[in-house]
Amino acid sequence: MQYSRFFYTEHESSVDSKEEGAFTILSTPQSRDINFNLRSTIGLQRVAILWDGGIDTRVFHLLERALVISVLSPVKVLHASEGLLHVLIDKELSIKNRSLFEELWWDLATHVIYDEWTLSVFPEDQIFTPLDGGRVFRDHCKDIVSSQSLGITDYSYDLFLFTDEWEPENLTVDPRQFR
């Protein structure tokens, strides 16, 4: 399903037997690197949203706002639950830029539509201790990160959505066209 004008929905998972752990992978063109500098070429950023009890469309609004103000680039996973917003960021975000990131994301989280969320930010290499994040975030974030390619990648023609259709074995050629 398409949820945003700025983001393409790449994947939607199902929930586990406890009715939790569903997530969505979104992608968007990204002109900034992890530390908010302009990239020399446009990349593709993939972000996961871990859901808690169903899809909350306010998260898409939050993502769009973060993209517009150029503070989305370090984000890998988002999880909103009961007034809390957990954000998993790239471990390469500098300490100086992390302060700016947290300040701007705090503003985004406290002005979410009809609510105010408390922000928790975790670098990807420091989240997997028993006290990090909420239970759903703790239980499912590691699996999402290890099974999905998240973050910013350089553009290549392999990212073209129909690249498989143009593989030689998938092409049907009418020999008469070469006469």
C-alpha–C-alpha distance, residues 142 and 75, integer Å? 15
Q: Write down the pLDDT at residue 70.
A: 96
Which run of H or E residues covers position 153? Answer: strand 151-154
Alpha-carbon distances, residue 175 vs 85, 166, 168, 169 (angstroms): 58, 17, 15, 15
The answer on pLDDT for 32 being more than 90 is yes
The answer on pLDDT for 4 being more than 70 is yes
Mean pLDDT for the chain? Answer: 86
The answer on pLDDT for 44 being more than 90 is yes
Long-range contacts of 11-20 (CB under 8 A, 24+ apart): 11/148, 20/52, 20/53, 20/136, 20/139, 20/140
C-alpha–C-alpha distance, residues 32 and 139, integer Å? 30
Where are the domains positioned within the chain? Answer: 8-178
C-alpha–C-alpha distance, residues 68 and 53, integer Å? 28
C-alpha–C-alpha distance, residues 10 and 152, integer Å? 14
pTM of the model: 0.83
**pLDDT, tens digit, for every residue of 150-168?**
999 998 777 777 777 767 7
